[in-house]
Amino acid sequence: MSEINFDILARPFPKEAIKQRKGANGVMLSYVECHSVIRRLIEATGNNFNFRVLGIDIQDNLVMATVELEIAGNIRQHVGTQRMNGGNNDDAVKAAISDALKKCSTLFSVGLDLYGPDYETEKVPSAAASRPVQAQPQQNGGNGNGQRRPAFKPIER
């Protein structure tokens, strides 16, 4: 496997890549589009990462996608969501998968600058401090009664 550049993973996105959308209670949220995250993963890993969808759950008008991202043997899992607004269900599924991939990527330091300063250091963590720690993969998904198991197990420090 080629060398992983953790400085590239943690590098802040340029201002022109950052978009804004209205979130809950009218709060403006910053985000980058999924293709920008994918390009960052390709650049930092030499296109040597694995991504897979572990499950799709649709409940009422909410799509939940559980995904897994592996970089250099380190595995992270996360869940993305998207509401269906009476339109194409395929678009909602794709959007939930994109959301989950972006969230997974933050567990490898991609886009953490969008969340603001760290409350402990009052600055964005350095790439050296945010290098991934080996995680054990978990089986995820629905348990047959409409309830979800957590998509990832928090790392205890």
* Contact criterion met (CB below 8 Å) for 78 and 86: no
Distances (CA, A) of 89 to 51, 55, 85, 86: 22, 15, 9, 8
- Determine how many CB atoms are found less than 10 A away from the CB of residue 83: 12
Number of residues assigned to the chain: 157
- Condensed to tens digits (0 to 9), the pLDDT of residues 78-97 reads 999 999 987 678 899 999 99
pLDDT at 150: 40
CA 123, CA 36: separation in Å to the nearest integer? Answer: 23
pLDDT at 85: 82
pLDDT-flagged residues of the chain (< 70): 1-2, 87, 118-157
pLDDT at 120: 61
Answering whether pTM is above 0.85, one says: no
Domains of the chain plus CATH, in order, are 6-115 (3.30.390.80)
